[in-house]
Amino acid sequence: MSIHDLLKQYLEEGRIKVDKSIHHELTTYHDPCNYGRKSERMFGHGYYEEPRWVAQQCCENFVDMYPNRANNFCCGAGGGAWAAPYVEERTFYGRTKAKQIKDTGAKLLIAPCHNCRDMIMKSLRKEYDFMDVEVKYLWELVADSLVIEPREEEGEAEEE
C-alpha cells in the first residue's frame, strides 16, 4: 500500500484531523522520481495528484514547480547517489532542482521521499543558498498539522 493512499484515506474518512492554518507560508511539492515516473512505468499509476491533495489539506498556499509531475527534475540524489562518493557531480546535478525550487518563491518544500528530502535539505539548500526554505516529509507535514483528539479520560494531548 502506498503512503499516499494511506494518508489520503485517513483524511478522507476523517480518521485524522488537520489544521491548515499551522502552515500558512507558500508551499511547494517535489515529485520524487520513484512515486512519479517510475511508479507510472512499472505499475501504470504515477502518484502525482494524491500527495498534492494531501499537502493542500495541510497548508493554505500551494504552488507547483515548473516543470512538474512526470516532467519534474530529480533532486540529484536518486539511484543511490546520496550514498555514492560523487558529491561534486551530485551537487551539479541538483542545480536544476535548486532553481526550480527558488523560482516558486515557496518557503516550505514538501518531499515525500527520504532521499530527496535529505538531498534538498542537507545539500542543495546550502550549496545554492536557500536556507530560508524549510523542508518537510509529506508525513511530517501531516503530523505537524494534526489535531489529536484526547483519548478517553486522558487529558489534552495537544500539538506543540
State the cell numbers at 70: 512526470
Nearer to other proteins, 69 or 107 (CB): 69
Nearer to other proteins, 91 or 104 (CB): 91
At residue 28, what are phi and psi to the nearest 5 degrees? -130, 170
Q: How far apart are CA 69 and CA 28, in angstroms?
A: 12
Report the nearest approach of other proteins to the CB of residue 71 (Å).
7
What is the contact surface with other proteins in residues (CB under 8 A)? Answer: 1, 3, 6-7, 10, 15-17, 33-34, 37-38, 41, 70-81, 83-86, 89-90, 92-97, 113-115, 118, 137, 139-140, 142-144, 146, 148-151, 154-155, 157
Report the nearest approach of other proteins to the CB of residue 6 (Å).
6
Nearer to other proteins, 61 or 96 (CB): 96
Q: What one-character-per-residue DSSP string does 2-63 give?
A: -HHHHHHHHHHTTSS-B-GGG--SEEEE---TIIIIIHHHHHS---SHHHHHHHHHH-SEE-
Nearer to other proteins, 79 or 105 (CB): 79
Spell 119-129 as b/e; 16+ CB within 10 A means b.
Answer: bbbebbbeebe
Report the nearest approach of other proteins to the CB of residue 146 (Å).
5
